[in-house]
Amino acid sequence: MTSESKLITFSLNSYPSWWRERYQDEVGAVVECLVEAGRSPLWITANLLRSSITTRIRGTGAPAAREFWVHRTQKSLMVAFLAWFTIVPLAIVFMLSIGENGVSHGNTLVQLSHAGTTAHNLQSVASIVVVLIFVIALRGWRQLRSGLEGQVIPTKLFRVVNRGAMVGITLTIAALFLGEHTSTSMFAEVCAYIGLSLFVCAWLLTPAVISQMLRHGELSVTNLRKVVSGSTVLVWLYGLITLLVVGSEVALAAQPVPASGASYLSLHSGLGSWSMLLCVGFVVLTILSGIGASVSRRSCEHILTT
């Protein structure tokens, strides 16, 4: 098998299983005719890959069974919601990197430049958006749990993650009090490291818990509509905070060069490599979450019309 044939086979296999069962033989015959007619295999591969993506998003040719569309909605909700677990750490990194964005001459703070003022305002709005994202996500979590109550769902992983998070938070809070005394400072440091490690592990495992719950349980149509609406709101907030972060970083990069003997007080005064990665991370996660929310909304509408 040539490399061109392998590419075409790969592109055909990229379609969902329900599509391949119905259309793969027919499309395969059309592809063979196109190759014999002299069409470029790369052109055929690109079109097949583009079509496979749109097929997955739109559900073209999918079975009409209600169960299929319910599970499809829940799977796409995982994509929409699980981006939250990466966007929040990125938002925290962004908030921690915020400086005064001003210029100083010795100990005297000079008035912010127009670009610095713009960056400061955008960062303030971003802080409010982060809080809104937390509130909406917690509301969605409550709706998810209430919708799955009483169903036979494996809960062992959930209990482990929940207890690990509680112990981690308790140890971290205890470390804050113990660290105030010299005699217990070493013990407080150990508690802090253990507590933060447990909390981070719980944070990383929580997406697996949500995936397991949605894979083994089934939400009612009412709960699905509520969770889908919450995912749509989150995507809009993701887009807003992405614009704020990118705008803030661009404004910081537009600050004038400090005069001789002056220096910026911000931790970053231009679009450096770290800032670029931060912006790219927000953009990519927002796009992925948007695709998940769009697919879940389309699937939920299909359930309501069948």
Residue 100: per-residue pLDDT: 47
CATH 1.20.140 at 72-151+217-306, yes or no: yes
Task: For residue 282, give Cα distances in angstroms to 42, 76, 94, 204, 296.
Answer: 31, 19, 11, 18, 21
DSSP 155: -
Structure-token pair, residue 53: 């993506």
| Dihedral angle of Cα 292, 297, 303, 306, to the nearest 10 degrees | -130
DSSP string, 215-265: HH----HHHHHHHHHHHHHHHHHHHHHHHHHHHHHHHHHTSPPPPTTEEE-
How is the chain split into domains, by residue range?
1-62, 72-151+217-306, 152-206
Residue 105: per-residue pLDDT: 47
For residue 152, the tally of other CB atoms under 10 A from its CB is: 7
36: CB partners within 8 A, 6+ apart:
none
Terminal-residue alpha carbon distance, the chain: 44
Positive or negative torsion for Cα 99, 104, 109, 110: negative
Q: Coil, strand, or helix at residue 40?
A: coil
> Exposure of 29 by Cβ count < 10 A (0-12 exposed, 13-18 middle, 19+ buried)?
exposed
Average pLDDT of adjacent 10-residue blocks, the chain of 306 residues: 72 86 84 81 85 85 82 85 85 71 49 69 87 86 79 78 87 79 75 87 85 81 85 91 87 63 44 72 90 88 79
How many whole angstroms separate alpha carbon 11 and alpha carbon 51? 9
Residue 236: per-residue pLDDT: 93
| Dihedral angle of Cα 277, 283, 288, 293, to the nearest 10 degrees | 150
Question: Are 169 and 199 spatial neighbours (Cβ–Cβ below 8 Å)?
Answer: yes
How many whole angstroms separate alpha carbon 104 and alpha carbon 236? 38
* CA 269-274-275 angle, 5° bins: 55
* CA 295-301-306 angle, 5° bins: 125
Greatest CA separation for the chain: 83
Q: Coil, strand, or helix at residue 61?
A: coil
For residue 101, the tally of other CB atoms under 10 A from its CB is: 24
How many whole angstroms separate alpha carbon 233 and alpha carbon 68? 25
Which of 123, 78, 90, 122 lies closest to 281, judged by CA?
90
How many whole angstroms separate alpha carbon 141 and alpha carbon 149? 12
